[in-house]
Each structure stands twice: as C-alpha cells, then as structure tokens.
C-alpha cells in the first residue's frame, strides 16, 4: 500500500526505496494529527468520524449510534410555522456560510498564487522550482543524537559516511552492543516532517524526494539535483560537507557539552560566538542558521536548515517556507532576491518556552561567495 501511494500520489518511480524515501509515512502521520486536532476542537459529536488508524493507509468512516425512536406527536399550526421559519433561517445561514467559504477559497487562492509568484522569482525557491532538477530533502538522524549523548562521544562525518556509528576509538560495553539495533536511524524528527510538508506547498510533491540521513553516502551528493539538509552536525553529519563554505558554522563546545555557532567573519555589531542559553529542552534562547549556497563542483543548490535545538530548527523551516518574508528580509539587507547567483546565510535568534518555539528574529545576514572564491558580504 505504501509503495502504491508513493507511485500514484507522489509520482515516485515503481522501484523507489520506501525505507529511504518516507514521504508516504510522513504525510500519513500529518493527516492523523490533523484529524485528531479537528475532532478534539469540536464541541459536539460529528455526524461521521473519519479515522486513519496508525500503521494503516486505509481510511475508516464511523457512524454515530442511531438516535432513539420517538413517537411523533400532534403538531400545532404555530409549531408548523416555527419549523418552516427555522428551515428558512437555516437555508439563509447555509447560503451565507457558502458565500463566506467561497470568499475564503478565493482569498486563499490569491494568497497562494502571490506566494507562488514570489517564490518563483526569488531565492531560494526560484532554484528549487526548476522542473529539470529534483529537490532532495535529507532528514536529520535523531537516533545518532541519542547515541552520542548517551555514551559521550562525537561522531565525525567520515565515520558516519562509512557507516561506523560508534567509532572504534570509543568501544561500548558488551552488554550495550545488542541495543544498537534499536537505533537504526529510521526515525524522522517531527519538526523535519512539518517543514517537509510546508515545502510541499511550494514545490510540487512530484519533484520532491525525501531521504533519511543514514540512507545516504557521500557520492549521493555528487549530482546536479538540489538538496535541503535539515539538522545541525550533531543530528545530521552531512551538514559537515558544506560548513567550510559558511560564515556561521556549528562547533562542539567540550566545556559546555553542546553545539555553539561560530561566526568566522564578524561584521559590525556581531560577536564571534553565539551560545544558546537553553539546551535541547526548557525555556530560553537558541540559535539557528538558514544557508543557501551552491553544491561544490555541481550545478545544483543546497539549503541548510540547522538549529541548536528542535525549536530553532523549526524556526528556520517556518521562515524559509514564507517566500514573501524571505524576499523582504533579503531586500532589507541590500540583496536582490531575483539574482539567480545569490548565495546567503542567515542567523536566527530563537526564544523557546517549555521546549516550544515562541518567537524568532533575524540578527545577521551574510552574502556567501561561490565555493573556491574569496569571502565577501
């Protein structure tokens, strides 16, 4: 069923790898969440309840219990008139509701067409909307974060790319080894899934492929397709392929035992290090980067969405999937969003409350030079 949906609904190739491309599972999970949210908000039981059971892709419809039979009684003329008046009022209300819904649909259509126009003519989406290149979304690897934090080691990109998820320099106790099978890298972070769905509202889903980070190898990036890589180096080591070309990069701070962002070329008013005041949970301040650059030695482009925690990564997803806001931000920093050669990196400051995203703002915007050229802003 999953493969059939992938082929017919998302236009995947018949032989596509369902373990690496999670688009059907991610979409089904979002549908379940939306249905639950909808029915939870209702003040009265619905006439029909629609459900998509966990682990299944077959929709179920549930009818309410039949109403008890009530013997009809004699109706007075006044009651008949009142019933007709109520029916007329209901028809008028339904007509008004239909008109309101039509207005909402028209507004949404105009809003989406405006966003589509903005996206098609400004970075980064002007590059990602090209029909001759697939957009490959690489999800982060929450399992690898758990392993590193639980056993106190830092995994290098070389080890990750080689499939050595526990380095030889850090042997684990024999009793722990059998547990590694539970951390196979087949989980998708909720914030990644939500961002992928928003991206699907800008780029046609038929041009998108999704991949688990652990399903890729270094050679998979040597293509002219476009990429969106989610997560920091701690959660997605593939970010390390591009860090040398960035002005803001994540580094592991052994004293803090967390990632900080190093500013390699501070401008006026900027500082060399941006350290979060909140770890992966709680209330405080976090940081994130959203970068758009050329894939070195390839014709495609890469967008990196990295946060010091999940809420910060979520903020980058919400920002970049708002094309008018991205265009406005670039213009405010003196950049031309329609420049097809534009490469840039943004630094976001994020506030979280009880692990949830509260607010975010852009505190720095740097122009990036193509790989191999001198740095400039």
Query: What is the per-residue pLDDT across 314-329, written as a single tens digit (0 to 9) for each?
Result: 999 999 999 999 999 9
Looking up tokens 């190739």 gives 13
Q: Cα–Cα distance between 70 and 85 in angstroms, integer?
A: 23
Q: Which tokens is 287 given? A: 């940081």
Name 299's Cβ contacts closer than 8 Å, sequence gap at least 6. Answer: 224
Confidence class of residue 123 from pLDDT cuts 50, 70 and 90? confident
Percentage of residues of the chain with pLDDT beyond 70: 79
247 φ/ψ sector (left φ>0, alpha ψ -120 to 50, else beta): alpha
- What average pLDDT does this structure show over 153-178? 83
Confidence class of residue 61 from pLDDT cuts 50, 70 and 90? low
Whether residue 177 is predicted with pLDDT greater than 60 in this model: the reply is yes
Q: Cα–Cα distance between 147 and 145 in angstroms, integer?
A: 5
Q: Cα–Cα distance between 228 and 325 in angstroms, integer?
A: 19
- What average pLDDT does this structure show over 223-238? 96
CA distances to 80, 157, 286 from 261, rounded to whole Å, are 73, 18, 10
Confidence class of residue 374 from pLDDT cuts 50, 70 and 90? low
Q: Cα–Cα distance between 18 and 194 in angstroms, integer?
A: 19
Identify the three-state secondary structure at position 49: strand
Confidence class of residue 364 from pLDDT cuts 50, 70 and 90? very high
Whether residue 191 is predicted with pLDDT greater than 70 in this model: the reply is yes
Answer yes or no: are the C-beta atoms of 12 and 6 closer than 8 Å. Answer: yes
Q: Cα–Cα distance between 142 and 148 in angstroms, integer?
A: 10
What's the confidence (pLDDT) of residue 135? Answer: 96
Whether residue 230 is predicted with pLDDT greater than 50 in this model: the reply is yes
- Ranges of H-type helices in the chain: 2-8, 23-41, 77-120, 125-128, 142-151, 157-161, 190-199, 310-320, 323-332
Query: What is the per-residue pLDDT across 242-300, written as a single tens digit (0 to 9) for each?
Result: 999 999 999 999 888 889 999 999 999 999 999 998 765 567 899 999 999 999 999 99
What's the confidence (pLDDT) of residue 112? Answer: 47
**78-92, 124-138, 165-179: range with lowest mean pLDDT:** 78-92
Query: What is the per-residue pLDDT across 103-112, written as a single tens digit (0 to 9) for each?
Result: 444 444 444 4
Please enumerate, as own/partner, the contacts of 6-10 that have beta carbons within 8 Å and a separation of 24 or more. 9/205, 10/205, 10/206, 10/208
- Helical (H) or strand (E) element with 258: strand 258-263
Answer yes or no: are the C-beta atoms of 322 and 294 closer than 8 Å. Answer: no
Looking up tokens 């809420």 gives 311
What's the confidence (pLDDT) of residue 373? Answer: 60
The helix-helix angle for 323-332 and 310-320 (nearest 10°) equals: 90
Confidence class of residue 102 from pLDDT cuts 50, 70 and 90? very low
Query: What is the per-residue pLDDT across 7-17, written as a single tens digit (0 to 9) for each?
Result: 766 667 777 78
What's the confidence (pLDDT) of residue 281? Answer: 56
Structural domain spans, the chain: 2-38+46-62, 125-367
What's the confidence (pLDDT) of residue 17? Answer: 80
pTM of the model: 0.70
Q: Cα–Cα distance between 95 and 342 in angstroms, integer?
A: 50
**Comparing C-alpha atoms, which of 137, 133, 117, 109 is closest to residue 337?**
117
**Comparing C-alpha atoms, which of 269, 270, 267, 239 is closest to residue 252?**
239
Asked if the bond preceding 124 is cis, omega within 30° of 0, the reply is yes
Confidence class of residue 80 from pLDDT cuts 50, 70 and 90? very low
Confidence class of residue 117 from pLDDT cuts 50, 70 and 90? low
**Comparing C-alpha atoms, which of 297, 284, 329, 377 is closest to residue 124?**
329
What's the confidence (pLDDT) of residue 216? Answer: 94
Q: Cα–Cα distance between 136 and 207 in angstroms, integer?
A: 9
Answer yes or no: are the C-beta atoms of 130 and 210 closer than 8 Å. Answer: no
What's the confidence (pLDDT) of residue 353? Answer: 81
**18-32, 169-183, 191-205, 279-293: range with lowest mean pLDDT:** 169-183
């Amino acid at each position: 069923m999953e493969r059939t949906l992938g082929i017919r609904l998302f236009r995947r190739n018949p032989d596509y790898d369902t373990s690496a491309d999670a688009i059907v599972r991610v979409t089904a999970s979002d549908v379940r969440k939306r249905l639950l949210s909808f029915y939870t908000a209702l003040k009265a039981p619905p006439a029909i309840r629609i459900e998509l059971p966990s682990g299944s892709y077959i929709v179920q419809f549930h009818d309410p219990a039949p109403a008890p039979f009530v013997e009809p009684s004699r109706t007075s003329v006044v009651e008949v008139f009142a019933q007709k008046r109520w029916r007329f009022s209901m028809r008028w209300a339904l007509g008004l509701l239909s008109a309101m819904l039509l207005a909402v649909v028209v507004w949404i259509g105009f809003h989406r067409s405006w966003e589509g126009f903005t996206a098609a003519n400004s970075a980064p989406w002007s590059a990602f909307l090209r029909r001759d290149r697939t957009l490959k979304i690489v999800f982060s690897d929450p399992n690898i974060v758990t392993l590193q934090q639980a056993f106190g080691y830092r995994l290098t990109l070389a080890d990750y790319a080689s499939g050595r998820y526990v380095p030889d320099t850090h042997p684990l106790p024999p009793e722990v080894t059998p547990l590694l099978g539970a951390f196979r890298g087949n989980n998708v972070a909720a914030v990644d899934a939500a961002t992928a769905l928003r991206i699907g509202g800008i780029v046609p889903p038929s041009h998108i492929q999704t991949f688990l980070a652990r399903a890729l190898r270094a050679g998979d990036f040597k293509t002219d397709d476009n990429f969106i890589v989610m997560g920091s180096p701690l959660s997605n080591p593939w970010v390390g392929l591009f860090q040398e070309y960035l002005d803001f990069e994540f580094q592991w701070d052994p004293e803090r035992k967390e990632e900080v962002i190093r500013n390699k070329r501070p401008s006026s008013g900027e500082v060399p290090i941006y350290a979060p005041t909140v770890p992966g949970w709680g209330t405080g301040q976090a940081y994130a980067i959203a970068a758009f650059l050329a894939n070195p030695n390839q014709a495609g482009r890469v967008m990196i969405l990295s946060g010091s925690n999940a809420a910060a990564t979520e903020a980058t997803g919400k920002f970049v999937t708002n094309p008018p806001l991205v265009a406005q931000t670039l213009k405010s920093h003196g950049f031309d969003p329609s420049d097809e050669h534009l490469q840039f990196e943004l630094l976001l400051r994020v506030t979280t409350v009880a692990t949830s995203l509260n607010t975010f703002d852009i505190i720095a915007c740097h122009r990036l030079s193509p790989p191999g050229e001198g740095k400039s802003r």
